[in-house]
Amino acid sequence: MNNKTGVLAAFVTFACLVALGIIGYIVLTLIKPEKSDQYFAVLLQLLGLASLAGGYFWGQGRQNQKIELIKKQTNGTLSSVIERNDALASKNNTLETEKSVLQKEVEFLRDMVKGNTNHE
């Protein structure tokens, strides 16, 4: 069941609960008018709880969809991401080594241009 179907089912269920509650309120008002105020208060509380539960379950469904999408994108593991990070770290180390060698060569050439020949 996709998310739109679940939301529609929750809405229809909630609408049915509201309709039953209103019918029950009308019947109770006709049979025992003195109890109708208490019934209405309880009905509002139950509908409020039902709407909160519906919102909670909808949010859980959305979260589960996002988790499934992440699992699908990573095939359940992060091994490809870890391998890519390791390869990039190795390349970074190589570039750092080359950078230090090039800096030493630049210093050597600057010293040669200045006439300083004392190098190791």
Let me know whether 70 and 97 are in one domain.
no
Residues 4 and 53 in one domain: yes
N-to-C CA span, the chain: 74
Token pair 């004392």 is found at 118
Into how many domains does the chain fold? Answer: 2
Q: In the prediction, which pLDDT does 89 show?
A: 94
Residue-level pLDDT at 91: 94
Considering the domain architecture, whether residues 62 and 85 belong to the same structural domain is answered as no
Tokens of 44: 């509002």
Q: Judge if 98 and 65 occupy the same domain.
A: no
State whether 40 and 82 are in the same domain. no
This prediction's pTM: 0.45
Low-confidence ranges of the chain (pLDDT < 50): none
Domain containing residue 119: 77-120
Q: Do 10 and 54 fall into the same domain?
A: yes
